[in-house]
Structure 1
């Protein structure tokens, strides 16, 4: 791939725009492909992000996803933390690409955003990129639309405060999203898109980074300049990098959004990205306890030894054991209890089957609570209405973006 003629944010502190493709490190991380054994520290060098310090983690609302460094790096985190500490306006943006049913890996950033909202009063924006999924997936508009409706029910079931939450669907909110994206696209070159994302199959996907930048800037376009933090898995980081570049170039009343970058929840087959797009099994948010148990018992990779006797003698390895990693990521909140489980497993006192059953119990309890809230929802149109952008918010966003809000002349 040729070197780009223009690079996002060419300051020393900003990320390189080298393509995220297979190289000597033998792994690829982009919004559309994750391959190989991921070296998370090398990703920081590639993306130009900074590891979170202990002091920064301690300033966030307490949560195992941060305390245990699942979210381990970021950009402009201090600006967000300072605003949250003094009660100044601050926002979170975390979204969903509705190409299928939501699984555990999809929903964890949403629950983290809810924790921030409850602890500090953050405004949360949740965009659903149904247009991008139509362009990137071999699915019809009808299919994407059905996934969008089901995903919206799962987003609503998380339990955000409607007064401080806005849910945006690209095709349904095109009157706001599209004009702003066009404005931003003027400052986004094909060379930049190619450098950050690699080759794209369609001009639609080449344009989509402008739509994603619109998502990330909406809190400021609606309510004024404020620190914005985007908690995402590292494969979505290119969207933030491009948006930061566009925000620096475009004469809009916005600051660059910050980022909070997370590791992938491992797939059941072993370490790596948890994905519903391939043949690997996953635990969906609508799974019942029997399905959860069957999936984990049958498919979950363990760190146990080859035989029971060897496991009793030498112990297991929790660092590669997927049921333990699920507990570590989210489903065992108590650090002391988690360490006890790990110690028992290493000592051979806890068997892999017993560890699986513990994970099954915790995940099933979490899903039961989520599904209860989901079942209590009324019609989607009624439930969604308090979370939609108001007419006034739409006008303000367009005006701040310098987009005419009506026909003139």
Structure 2
């Protein structure tokens, strides 16, 4: 298979099931019943995969601290694909998460060659205003990478644990890749781990909503989080096949293992370099204890971040969205009437003739207009089910769906753009 995911390119995923086998992404539908108030993206299976989201669902259920973090490279206009990430950040913030949004100007500078001033201008005008307009509250954190001492310092420390071979294996870097590009990848790992710094309350589950093409960043960051930790926790069996847990030192000070042993409520045996624990009935509690000891000894105690992955939207003309084909996408700053015209010209799942449509029915699952309604323009699952059924049985024609979606798209953009102007007046509330 050898599927390639490129965070800076134009990855096209024809078969999402390959991601489960090749990259170890977990199926989200298996987790869905345990989420008390799933979002529309979850209910409609737009979010298809995850890594360790059960940590987040538990935190939400028990009102425990957690964070949501994502970032945006300021490279151009925000289209509906970017809105999907913003929607998920806002939803998790509403569910009680401490929200962090990084404007990846270091990435834009190194990958796109944009000036710092241009990065700032695009970051505010295109991304931050829309994020606030979509409901991001000022209790969250919005920042530019280049202005964050936390991110720059942590990226430097993470660089000690990363090497060229690892970055090459994950991203495909080669001898022509500039060093700043590699540093920008480490900056993104620092972005993702920043919510776990002591300044923000210490280690906590952190969720990163993303498209599947961003999974390389998650694989790198999860690996670095583990490498930064002082302890390794392993499940083992003794010679009598009795299970036990071993906490092994990686970089911990000499007396840190003794601190772990003394703090544990279970039977322990302390050795040089590790402590074995018997009768462990709560692995989460064990991790919390080792994490506290690590932080007391100057470490970070990072938890590997969780992630969700959503399906890509198709272009309005079929195939992929592309900025080189303006009619294939809708930006959040598009003129509402122009956006409505794009919708009315969009490729549908209809048949060649009206007669065939009535006799054979349409193909809503191959229709970019129905997709717009599912992803962005309908809050009513019942309405979508009815539209889907009427399309399939041939009782609904494409023109009526196009008219409905075009009207709602124009209405959404008018409302959103009004809120963007109100957001401009509130930038100081966000420290900008």
Question: Structure 1, residues 262-307: CA drift from partner, whole Å, max 9, x if none?
Answer: 11122212244x3436666311111232111111223x22111112
Residue 45 of structure 1 and its aligned partner are, at CA, apart by 1.7
Contact 2:189–2:220 (Cα < 8 Å) also in 1: yes
Q: Matches of 2:171 and 2:48 in 1, distance apart?
A: 23
Partner SS state of residue 230, structure 1: strand
Question: Where do residues 102-251 of structure 1 align in structure 2 (5 Å cutoff)?
Answer: 102-118=78-94, 120-150=95-125, 151-163=127-139, 165-173=140-148, 175-199=149-173, 201-221=177-197, 222-251=200-229
- The aligned counterpart of 1:80 is 56
Q: 1:105 to 1:245 in 2, by over 3 A?
A: same
Pairing 1:309–2:287 present: no
Contact 1:57–1:67 (Cα < 8 Å) also in 2: no
Q: Matches of 1:148 and 1:195 in 2, distance apart?
A: 30
Q: Matches of 1:335 and 1:32 in 2, distance apart?
A: 34
- The aligned counterpart of 1:9 is none
Pairing 1:321–2:295 present: no
Partner SS state of residue 178, structure 1: helix
Residue 68 of structure 1 and its aligned partner are, at CA, apart by 1.1
Which of 16, 19, 27 in structure 2 is aligned with 1:43?
19
What are the ranges of 5 or more consecutive residues in structure 2 without an aligned counterpart? 230-299
For the pair shown, the structure with the greater C-alpha radius of gyration is 2
Residue 355 of structure 1 and its aligned partner are, at CA, apart by 1.2
- The aligned counterpart of 2:422 is 376
Q: 1:277 to 1:88 in 2, by over 3 A?
A: farther
What TM-score do you get using the length of structure 2 for normalisation?
0.78
Residue 53 of structure 1 and its aligned partner are, at CA, apart by 3.5
Q: Matches of 2:115 and 2:325 in 1, distance apart?
A: 18
Contact 2:29–2:45 (Cα < 8 Å) also in 1: no
- The aligned counterpart of 2:381 is 335
Question: Structure 1, residues 128-158: CA drift from partner, whole Å, max 9, x if none?
Answer: 1012012222544443332112122112212
- The aligned counterpart of 1:269 is 317
Q: Matches of 2:187 and 2:341 in 1, distance apart?
A: 40
Q: Specify which structure has the higher proportion of strand.
A: 2
Residue 361 of structure 1 and its aligned partner are, at CA, apart by 2.1
Higher RCO by CA contacts (8 Å cutoff, separation 6 or greater) = 1
Partner SS state of residue 245, structure 1: helix
Q: Matches of 1:169 and 1:230 in 2, distance apart?
A: 17
Contact 2:90–2:134 (Cα < 8 Å) also in 1: yes
Question: Structure 1, residues 113-141: CA drift from partner, whole Å, max 9, x if none?
Answer: 212222x3111111110120122225444
Q: Matches of 2:62 and 2:324 in 1, distance apart?
A: 42
Q: CA RMSD in A?
A: 2.1
What are the ranges of 5 or more consecutive residues in structure 1 without an aligned counterpart? 1-23, 389-409
Residue 333 of structure 1 and its aligned partner are, at CA, apart by 2.0
Tell me whether 123-132 or 35-44 shows the greater mean CA deviation.
Answer: 35-44
Residue 366 of structure 1 and its aligned partner are, at CA, apart by 2.5
Q: Matches of 1:378 and 1:326 in 2, distance apart?
A: 27
Residue 381 of structure 1 and its aligned partner are, at CA, apart by 5.0
- The aligned counterpart of 2:303 is 255
Q: Matches of 1:95 and 1:239 in 2, distance apart?
A: 11
Partner SS state of residue 350, structure 2: coil
